[in-house]
Chains A and B, each alone.
Chain A
Amino acid sequence: MNKFKITIGYLYGECMNIYGDTGNIIALQKRAAWRGIKVTIQNITLNDKLEPGKVDLFFFGGGQDQAQNLVAQDLKSTGKGKVIKKEIERGVPLLSICGGYQLLGEYYQPHEGPKLPGVGLFPVYTVAGDKRMIGNIVVRLSALSCPDKIGTADDFIVGFENHSGKTYLKEGAKPLGKVIKGFGNNGEDKTEGCIYKNAVGCYIHGSLLPKNPQLADWLLEKALEVKYGETVNLKPLDDTLELLAHQAAMDKFS
């Protein structure tokens, strides 16, 4: 696989990097490197311009309220929101978590004041809630929402959620999965996250990708497929420790 190299675009890493977001970048970087794929991390932040075709995989983490307002404006004023949307349309994979997920939705309705418009990539919207949804979470990736590469319907992803925003899926939106334990999108409809083409939005920290390597590999495969225009099957890795940590998180609920 030495012929492959990818660029990961870390969106607003400086201000959007709530607990453990870096863990996702580390996981992507390592799992690619262990297969001889060269990785470049490109930090894309406030005021930067984004050109189409330069990034093979996007990551967008969570942030504090203040930062989130700045980023929402910046996505619009620099045109980055539009570019990201176009890139996703042509299949470029993306992982967004918490704040990043919210900003890529249609809008965020705060307690007071006007709606904060989002990028409109995911057909979802978020409303400020009164209760913080905090705790370990287990989600079943439904076969419907996920391409078969991720695995079977028995696949679970585990992690930790910590949000007060309640996200609702609009008609036709596909959730990432079904909440088995925890709150998920809104604590009401048992859905968690959203998937559109190869873009994933969700509320799962933990960090998400190290403990759920199937998701990390799926993102890497999609990135390579779109970039090189061929089907890629990544070499399997020894995931003993990954699965041990995954199991330990599952066991918290047994």
Chain B
Amino acid sequence: MNPRLIAAILLGKLIISLSRFFKVGGGSAAPGLYALKIYPQLVSDLASKIPHSIVITGTNGKTTTARMLAHFAQNSGLKVLRNATGSNLERGIASALIQHSSFHLGGGGTKYDLAIWELDEAAFNQVVLRLKPQQVVILNVFRDQLDRYGEVDSVLKNWHTTLRQLSPETTLLLNGDDQNLLSLISSFPGKALTFGVENYKIRGEKSFKRVGKEILNLEAKNLNLLGFEGVRFELEEGDGRWFFSLPLPGIYHIYDFLAAYITATRLGIERQSMIGAMQSFSPAFGRTEKITLPGEKTAFIQLIKNPTGASQVLEVLSGELREDDKLLLALNDNLADGTDVSWIWDVDFELLQNPSRAKRGDLKTEIASGPMAHRNDIIVSGSRAEDLALRLKYAGISPQDIEVENNLKKALKQATDGLKGRLFILPTYTALLKLQAILAEAGIKEHYWKHE
């Protein structure tokens, strides 16, 4: 083993121990960051020791897909390595590899059968070739943090370039309901398979409308949406029609499932074992996560980070909100959230003004009228709480029903004090991290790194 690699791993492991000891975080980025400085080839060297690897990218759904796939794999006895939630840059991959590498198994050996890597839209181009994956999953491409990733056109352009360099041995799995993604097939030298949902287009992005009938290799049919409880659907396969019940809400989660399912099937995991495993699947950190607050009150936490994802969440939420429920929205503008808060103006917050209007097409171009069907107290928080409050006002929500409290801890207290129904918390990424810390401090929830 290369002495620089050994030094890099040791340094990384030391940082992991120190950061845990001093409780400064889960150590999901810093160890990799410094280890890569010592040994830049660390990722390809260590990753090549794991027999199978799968890379997942796209704007929305990476974490849920990775978690579901890991759940299926573990359930059928495979040992799985993943990068920690949200740490999807190269340093996050390196950190995971360092943390789980052991010297005694023939030098940097591994005890894993499968690695599942989630990479964000930009990190994908930097890291995927080093990981030499057997399967690459691309879930979707939406506008997300234009200040960081650039426009959709340039994300796609970079993906085309990267896919051209991938081995033809790799299989590419694409969301076939996404016109932009279908164009990637032409740049990829290997086999490509598509998955999708019958007669569905994704809201919010006009270019995503299904044009004509594409042939999908795997298609979810006969959907039955059950609000926050989840969704039921069928898959028609060579050996018959199969029924599935997904404990996650909204059509958008079906895509995550289909990606996990098709990938797992190609790994040799049995369908029956996946159907069973779905019953015990619990959502990832802040992804429709359900927690119990003191006084047996229920709170749902759902990350929001871009217009399409947030609108999809609101769509489910609007049909779900009851009189006594409260909402806590938290908008930060740190680097990991996107420093430009303009995106909230592309989110259909209009859906909150009157749930019965939810199914009426694009509300943004309509003038809202009439009183709210449900009066929900909405607390807005985070470093740009004021922007969010303003967005809600222009979405037709009465300013009297909006409370502004920048401090998330105080906002959470305000939201839970005297809460009769349920609390729905929608934070952006760094607000979610903060929220987890607040909940941990209050003894409501453990720190996220203990879960992964």
Interface residues of A (CB under 8 A from B): 14, 18-23, 25-27, 29-30, 33, 39, 41, 64-66, 134-136, 160, 162, 205-207, 210-211, 238, 240-242, 244-245, 247-249
Contacts and interface: CB of A to CB of B under 8 A. Distances in A.
A19 B146 contact: yes
Given A41-B365, A136-B339, A241-B402, 16 more contacts: A18-B151, A19-B146, A19-B340, A19-B343, A20-B346, A33-B367, A134-B147, A134-B339, A160-B339, A160-B340, A160-B341, A162-B146, A241-B390, A241-B393, A241-B399, A245-B386
Interface in B378-398: 384-387, 389-391, 393-394
B143 A19 contact: yes
A113 B339 CA distance: 33
Interface in B401-428: 402, 404
Interface in B324-340: 339-340
Nearest to A10: B365
Contacts of B146: 18-19, 162
A63 B65 CA distance: 31
Contacts of B385: 248
B346 A19 contact: yes
Interface in B345-393: 345-346, 364-365, 367, 384-387, 389-391, 393
B147 A162 contact: yes
B452 to A, nearest CB: 32
Contact of B389 (A20, A26, A136, A245): A245
A241 B390 CA distance: 6
Contact of A22 (B152, B154, B346): B346
Given A20-B346, A248-B386, A162 B394 contact: no
Nearest to B306: A19
A67 to B, nearest CB: 8
B206 interface: yes
Given A19-B143, A210-B391, A244-B404, A162 B340 contact: yes
18 contacts: A19-B146, A19-B345, A20-B340, A20-B343, A20-B346, A22-B346, A23-B342, A23-B346, A25-B365, A64-B153, A135-B339, A206-B340, A206-B341, A210-B345, A211-B387, A211-B390, A241-B389, A248-B387
B342 A205 contact: yes
Nearest to A246: B386
Contact of A64 (B147, B152, B367): B152
Interface residues of B, number: 31
B321 to A, nearest CB: 22
A31 B61 CA distance: 37
Contacts of A135: 339
A238 B393 CA distance: 11
A7 to B, nearest CB: 14
Contacts of B367: 29-30, 33, 39
A26 B345 contact: yes
Contacts of B393: 241
B365 to A, nearest CB: 6
A21 B339 CA distance: 16
Contacts of B206: 14
B342 A207 contact: yes
A188 B346 CA distance: 31
Central interface residue in B391, B399, B404, by most chain A CB within 10 Å: B391
A23 B345 contact: yes
Contacts of A207: 342, 345
B342 A242 contact: no
Contacts of B154: 64
B15 to A, nearest CB: 31
B390 A206 contact: no
Contact of B153 (A22, A30, A65, A238): A65
A29 B350 CA distance: 14
Contacts of A20: 340, 342-346
A210 B390 contact: yes
A39 B394 CA distance: 15
Interface in B138-153: 143, 146-147, 151-153
B390 A245 contact: yes
B378 to A, nearest CB: 13
B237 to A, nearest CB: 38
A240 B345 contact: no
Nearest to B389: A241
A66 B399 CA distance: 40
Contacts of B386: 241, 244-245, 247-248
Closest 9 CB pairs of A and B: A20-B342, A23-B345, A19-B342, A248-B386, A245-B386, A20-B345, A245-B390, A64-B151, A64-B153
A25 to B, nearest CB: 8
Interface in B77-102: none
Contacts of A241: 386, 389-390, 393, 399, 402
Nearest to B387: A245
Nearest to B396: A30
A210 B394 contact: yes
Contacts of A206: 340-342
Contacts of A134: 147, 339-340
Interface string B118-161: 00000000000000000000000001001100011110000000
Contacts of A240: 399
A93 to B, nearest CB: 20
Central interface residue in A23, A30, A210, A244, by most chain B CB within 10 Å: A23
Contacts of B339: 134-136, 160
A19 B343 CA distance: 5
A241 B340 CA distance: 19
Contacts of B153: 64-66
Given A39-B367, A162-B147, A244 B389 contact: yes
